[in-house]
Amino acid sequence: MDQDLKLIKKKYGENMAKLCREFFPTILEEDGLLSKLLINHFEPNHSLYQDLIKQGNEIGFKNYIYSLVNVENKIEVNSQKSPKELLSEAGYNLYECKTEDEIQQFKKYYARGEQLCTFNGGRLNRCRVFFAIKKDVDEIKRIDYPNPQRQDKYGTSVISIQFTKDPSHTLSIKNRYNHTVNNPDSTFSNNLDNIIEGLTESFEREYGLIQQHKNNGFEIKGYVISNDGKFYKYNKEIHNVYYCPNNIIIDNYEVKRYEKEKYIIMDYFIIDLVNRKISLYDKEISDTFLDTIGDIEKLVIERKGKEKIITIKTKNGEDTKLVLNENNEMIKLFNLNVEKIGDKFLYNNGSIQELNLPNLKEVGYSFLRWNRALTKLNLPNLEEVGNDFLYCNRSINELNLPSIQKIGDDFLHWNRSLKRLNLPNLKEVGDDFLYENLPLLEVNLPNLQKVGHEFLDCNISLKKLNLPSLKEVGVGFLHDNIILQELSLPNLQKVRSYFLYNNQTLQSLNLPNLQIASSYFLDRNQSLQYLDLPNLKKIGSYFLSHNVSLKRVNLPNVSIVGKEFLYSHPVINVGNFKDINMGKVKQKSI
């Protein structure tokens, strides 16, 4: 027992040894058995205990280990039905893809940004590829699942069932969300019987796909089972390649190990310490991070606690400093010289927490698109950014970009933490600016002139907003804002449809220069009582439809009014509307 626990402590840490002493006293009575089970099924790492506790998965782990010594209790399911018949009972139609063209036929079921890397080509060289499509797939809409879960109805309405062609026949069940949910390549825990009982045996009998290492349903978030049957912790998965701590890459479930004396696997990059170069393992990945480095003259590595500090010295003197955590994930980046960055800079990085690029002036699209961890950002000279800038970031709570003038679409699209925003020189932004940012309290955009669709859509915290230079806005401006009380847009001239749609609390609105209001202007506004639009000339359909509080309206220069003006206005219906001035109306237009 003692030797077993000592080995477990060495390989997995003291806390794991304590957990094993508590959970497996009977197994520990057989010398060497427990340590053998762990080493044969879990690649050694000292994070395993912490990951189990964090996920509340200790009992699942306990049951899994006991299942490894109780194989005689395995229940065999004897069914003569084919995979197609069984999946039909579960509501699916099953297809096997034997050509690349047949694979591409299923691409239509995946939303933009959620398509499988299987569609990039070449998968049939390594795998048998099947697709199972729910019979009612056309009735299951992505829009109905705003908070996707890996195994919700939409996620599992289209699944790809793939077996490696090597003797292990390692199984991966991929769901419809791809990388927008956790571990999408392990849907149904990669256990066919979790779809319908007997499916594993049916695939074995029908196609000869006998899995060497079957999963009984146990899984850990952030871990993958390779074709050697072990669980490996990974930092990142891209194109079915898993980048792991301890210099391991798992490509199509095959384990590749890199010598620590010669290489560092950092995120999805390989740092070659001997030849002083950094490269991408997967040549299909597009990332301009390498373009910012230059010709490396020297690599200096220091250790500070569990962190590695890598200083990259280049021949032209433009140094870069990287800080890696204990898993070799990049968490900090400093470059004092770079001025321009192209598209997809660290596009797949999810771990950087601090970024310091003081001389950066321009970046392309998808800058740190999938990063969710960044909290400190220093870009004082940044003037222009492309689409999808920090698209998935959830952690920044204050942002100051004093020089920014132009921003593309989907700026901080899914941010859930930003409370204060200072962009004093910003003039133009694209669509979905801070889409569904919920806690934003303060905004300083004094020079903003033009915004795209869905500007600050669904914000629920902003009470006051002053945009003194704004002239034109897109569809859905402040759509579903439910707390804004004061809005001043003194230079706004034109608004598109659904302007302030479903606002709950607006009491003061200043639009002295507005000339054109499109359909559903202030539709379902709940609180506004007085509206003065002295220069408004054209009004679209459903102007102030369903307003419940409006009592006075001044529209002296309106000449064209769309259908359903003040439609379903309860105050008018009960006779309490005090005044409406529309002295110049000449025409009503549908």
Mean pLDDT of 439-450: 92
**Structure token digits, residue 571:** 């105050």
What whole-number distance in Å separates Cα of residue 465 and Cα of residue 219? 47
Residue 374: pLDDT band with limits 50, 70, 90: very high
pLDDT of residue 578: 57
Residue 410: pLDDT band with limits 50, 70, 90: very high
Q: Which residue has the higher pLDDT, 588 or 473?
A: 473
Name the nearest CA neighbour of 385 among 366, 358, 413, 357.
366
Give the tens place of pLDDT for each residue, 117-148.
899 888 999 899 999 999 999 999 888 887 78
- Is residue 38 within a helix (H) or strand (E), and if so which, with residue range? helix 33-41
Residue 74: pLDDT band with limits 50, 70, 90: very low
Give yes or no for a contact between 28 and 8, defined as CB atoms under 8 angstroms apart. Answer: no
- Is residue 96 within a helix (H) or strand (E), and if so which, with residue range? strand 92-97
In degrees, to the nearest 5, what angle opens at C-alpha 113 toward C-alphas 108 and 117? 75
Q: How confident is the prediction for the chain on average, in pLDDT?
A: 89
**What DSSP character marks residue 186?**
B
Between the CA of residue 506 and those of 120, 339, 509, what are the distances in Å?
A: 49, 42, 7
Residue 275 makes CB contacts below 8 A (sequence gap 6+) with: none
pLDDT of residue 274: 95
Pairing outcome for strands 384-385 and 406-407: parallel
pLDDT of residue 398: 87
What whole-number distance in Å separates Cα of residue 118 and Cα of residue 285? 14
Highest mean pLDDT among 244-248, 393-397, 564-568: 244-248
**What DSSP character marks residue 146?**
S
Residue showing tokens 């900090």: 332
Give the tens place of pLDDT for each residue, 500-549.
998 888 888 999 999 999 999 988 888 888 889 999 999 999 888 888 88
Q: What are phi and psi of 422, to 5 degrees?
A: -125, 105
> Angle at which helices 58-68 and 14-23 pack, to 10 degrees?
60
| CA-CA-CA-CA torsion sign (559, 569, 563, 530) | positive
Does the pLDDT of residue 182 top 80, yes or no?
A: no
pLDDT of residue 67: 85
Residue 293 makes CB contacts below 8 A (sequence gap 6+) with: 278, 312, 314, 320
Give yes or no for a contact between 286 and 295, defined as CB atoms under 8 angstroms apart. Answer: no
